[in-house]
Amino acid sequence: MKKYLSRPEEIILLAVWRLKDNAYGVTIKKKVEKMTEKYWSIGAVYVPLERLEKKGFVRSCLSKPKSERGGRRKRLFTITSAGIYELNKIHKVNEVIWQGYSTDKKETW
């Protein structure tokens, strides 16, 4: 039985999808911080990324060395078709489990 993605993995995977061909460490970190309005450490970004890559939902390649990065290359992540498929699944599940929920305060208790 395949497990679901963890929540951080899900968020990161979405960020990679959103960033299209400019998804690498810094942009992903910024994106998820903006989306979640929380501090993400580098570790918190890369550990789920690594897992996602192992599971085959993203793949990565190295860019050309950039001077503003101290001559270091970027590792650019792109979402794979398996990743898209997984996102679709999660989206469906999410829709189901969130169905009928509104942020109207009266309905919370």
Partner 1 sequence: MPDKKPSLSPFLLKTLQIVVSKRYREAISGDLIEMVRGISRKKGTAYAKWWAVFIILTSFPRFLSHSFRWSLEMFKSILKLTLRHLKRHKGFSFINIAGLTIGITASLLMFLWVQDELSFDGFHANEKNIYRVICGKSNPSSPQGAVSPPVLAKRMKSDFPEVVETARLYHSGGILFSRGEASFFENNGLLVDPSFFRIFTFPFTLGDPETAFQESRSIAVSEKLAFKYFGQTNPLNKTITLDTRADFKITGVFKNVPQNSHLRFDYVLPFSLLERSGRDMNSWTDVSYYTYVLLREGASHAAVDKKFEILGSQEDPQKEGYYLQPLKNIYLRSDLLFDIGRHGNRVYVTIFFAAALFILVIACINFMNLATARSGRRAKEVGMRKAVGATRGNLVTQFYFEAFFLSFLALFLALLLVHFLIPVFYSLSGKQLSLGFLNNPFLLLTLAGTALITGVLSGSYPALFLSSFQPQVALKNMFNAGIKGARFRKILVILQFSLTIILITGTMVIYKQLDFMRNKDLGFNKDHIISISMRGEFLNSFSAIKNAVQQNPNILNISAASNMPLHIGSGTSHADWEGKTEDDVIQMQIAWVDADYLDTFEMKMVEGRFFKTGDTVDQNCFVLNEAAVKAMGMDSPLGKRFSAFGKDGHIIGVIKNFHYKSLHSKIEPLILNTDPRMQDLACIRINAKNIPGTLRFLEKTWKEYAPDYPFEYAFLDDEVDALYRAEQRLGKVFNVFTFLAVFIACLGLFGLSSFMSEQRTKEVGIRKVLGAGMFSIVRLLNSEFILLIGISSLFACPASYVVMTVWLQHFSYRIQIPVWIFLVSAGLALGIALLTVSQQSLKAAMSRPVDSIRYE
Positions that interact with partner 1 (CB under 8 A)? 24-26, 29, 39, 41-44, 46-47, 49-50, 62, 66-70, 72-75
> In terms of CB distance, is 26 or 93 closer to partner 1?
26
Q: How far is the CB of 23 from partner 1 (least distance, A)?
A: 12
> In terms of CB distance, is 18 or 27 closer to partner 1?
27
Q: How far is the CB of 105 from partner 1 (least distance, A)?
A: 34
CB-count exposure of residue 12 (10 Å: 0-12, 13-18, 19+): buried
